[in-house]
Amino acid sequence: MQFFNLHTHKFTNQPDVLELVNQYPWEFDETIPFYSIGIHPWFIVEERLENDFAIIESKLQEPSCLAMGECGLDKRIEVPIELQQFVFEKQLLLAQKYQKPVVIHCVAAFQELIETVKKLNITVPILIHGFSKSEQLAKQLLENGFYISFGKYLLQSRSFGTELELVFKNMPNGRFFLETDTVEEGIETVYELAAKYKGVSVEEMQNLVNDNFSNVFKIKFLK
């Protein structure tokens, strides 16, 4: 039975972990077996966009590229939101063209995110990575068809007893993923905590996530 890590910036090459490693077009690593690729709003460089988009479109056609992203909107950075919106929409349309799910980075722009996906009539799965917000927002995202991924902030809930524990407990089993993002702890630790919160075994948690992986990525997960 394998673990699936929806979003990580570090390839650890463990035989029992399938990692969706975040890649950027300007520093692409051909040796990583499964990856997502996209332009994060923090790292938009206007002079490089044409070349970045060309690389992304090329990689989206490769079977080892499982998703677009991470990409999205962030209203707490200095990059103009109009430029972010342009780059985000372009990536959503590419994901739709090549039928790839999208891994989302979103900060203080969830309404804009929902409106953009609706406006462009995007039908591929949208995956919100690193969720740390309220149950009300989680419900709104679920109602709009999005998937939600938990990791770093779920681990922090062990110490602070945040609302996020309740959010995760109430997540429909068919709509969540688990990840490590940039934390040092392994994906197994995230699974153990998620299983504890859901009141199931780690193996049952693996089965739940693996079923979601198969449904979203249209690939049969190795048992």
Q: Domains for the chain: give ranges and CATH numbers.
A: 3-217 (3.20.20.140)
Model's pTM, two decimal places? 0.96
- pLDDT of the residue at 86: 98
- pLDDT of the residue at 138: 97
- pLDDT of the residue at 122: 98
Low-confidence ranges of the chain (pLDDT < 70): 1, 160-161, 221-223
Which pair of tokens denotes residue 140? 């709104």
- pLDDT of the residue at 161: 65
- DSSP code at position 222: P
Distances in whole angstroms, Cα of residue 191 to Cα of each of 46, 76, 156, 187: 39, 30, 14, 6
- pLDDT of the residue at 89: 98
**H or E segment to which residue 143 belongs:** helix 135-143
pLDDT tens for each residue of 165-189: 999 999 999 999 999 999 999 999 9
- pLDDT of the residue at 124: 98
Q: Which residue spans within the chain are E strands per DSSP?
A: 3-8, 17-23, 35-37, 65-74, 102-107, 126-128, 147-150, 176-178
Which pair of tokens denotes residue 70? 């991470």
Closest CA to 7 of 76, 17, 138, 16: 17
